[in-house]
Amino acid sequence: MQCTICLDDEGEIVQKGCCCRGDAGAVHIDCLVEAAAHEETTAGWTHCSTCNGSYTGSTFESLAKAWVERVKELPEDDRVRLAAYNNLTLALNELGQCAEAEENQLSVVDICSRTFGPDALETAFAKMQLATTYQYLDRVPEACRLLEPSIETLRSDDDPITLDAISRLADVYRQLGRYAESETLQLEAVALSQDLHGENGAVTLCTIANLTAIYRERGQCTKAVELEERVYTAQQRVLGKDHPSTLYSASNLANIYSDMGVYDKSKALGEETLSMMKKTHGPDNLSTFAVANNLANTMFLLGELGPAEILVRETIEGLSRVVGPDHRDTLTAQSTLADILLARGQPQLCFDLLRPVVPKMLGGFGQDHVIALYTATSLADAQSQLGFHAEALAQLVDIRKRLVISLGADHSENLRTASTHGAALVRSGRGGEGIVLLEETLRRQEQLLGEDHALTKATALRLRRLDRVSQV
């Protein structure tokens, strides 16, 4: 294989990480840097001149740092210099160096505010990049406060910056559990992307993938799986199987399969994706950790408790080391571990684990966020099993009210909580009420999720155990 720029086959040759694949994507990094430096515009530092796709992975990181080296001696308010430092923030975020990214971007925002004014387009764009860093740092409310006032400044007809701003704010709303607002904005982003890049353009496919994440969290799995399968198939063809955007969609699709109860399919895709993520992103990348946690959850649902616990404990250790014990991804992995502990019959360990986690989730994710409420349900289940009946029942009633308001009565998470509530009522001595609730929940789960879904089976098992007890 030879470099497509110098046509030499000596030295280290890498893939550009854009849409060019195989021989067409082979380059020396130094050659690519020199090519970018000699282009008439700055686009060569971020996009391939052949396919017009964005550079990703190690190529993007190398180019970002090389660009800054080329412009760092320019005046601090030079537009090209500012563009390079804006771009560096994105690269540092991808590397997991988020504290350094924040320091860099705060400086960019300050320079733009002084040079162009606090309400200028340049300042709004710099704030958008800072908001992305806050998302990486799990400071989502701060990201929201930055983006919301900037969104109108960033809006302009058929502009890629507008698309980026709308999609990012939609993702922030999703993280905060504001699903209706998130969906509205993401649909707008999809329509704009189709106008700018075409229905099967790489950016459009990524934007649709973001939309499926919203549908999944809202429990609209049929909608989500139809879209995600189409996106994943197209991305494999357009970008390649190991492209970061394709791997993101593969992870989403594995999660949707798990939500639908298609666990074997979810596990197979999750294992394949995790293996590729470790190679392309590295073992300590946040996206790699997320895939590992989702795979551990699927293994748990398959009843593979031992391997699931090993994988999720490794994930928690890695996340705690890389981003800290209070990061939302670390807390989410701890929620997975708590479920495994409950399934192993260890409610005290589950309670001790989740007692500090749930308040952090409700404060950081939002009071109505589905993951926070899911974890609060697990905590209430542990409380009930330990005999703290009043506290558990009060929590479950509140959680179910919040879930009905935010997700609807028939969302799978609301049905899971209803099943947990029924079992808690039985344990508290209110067996009649509990059995009625369990039977009604089972009927709805069979109708909406199917008899083979893990949640349906869990409710059926609870009822069978109660029936055996009553016959003794």
- Angle at alpha carbon of residue 188, lines to 182 and 193, rounded to 5°: 120
* CA distance linking residue 334 with residue 313, whole number of Å: 8
Distance between CA 147 and CA 163 in Å, rounded? Answer: 13
At 352 the pLDDT is 98
Q: Average pLDDT per run of 10 along the chain, which is 472 residues long?
A: 90 83 87 92 89 80 94 94 95 82 96 94 93 86 91 73 90 86 94 89 89 86 92 90 88 92 94 91 87 96 95 96 88 96 96 96 83 94 96 96 84 90 95 94 89 85 74 40
What's the pLDDT at 155?
Answer: 77
- This model's pTM is above 0.85: no
User: Looking at this protein, which amino acid is placed at residue 49?
Assistant: S
In SS3 terms, 364-400 reads as HCCCCCHHHHHHHHHHHHHHHHCCCHHHHHHHHHHHH
The span from the CA of 8 to the CA of 381, in Å, is: 64
Question: Quick one: which of 53, 20, 50, 15 has its CA closest to 35?
Answer: 50
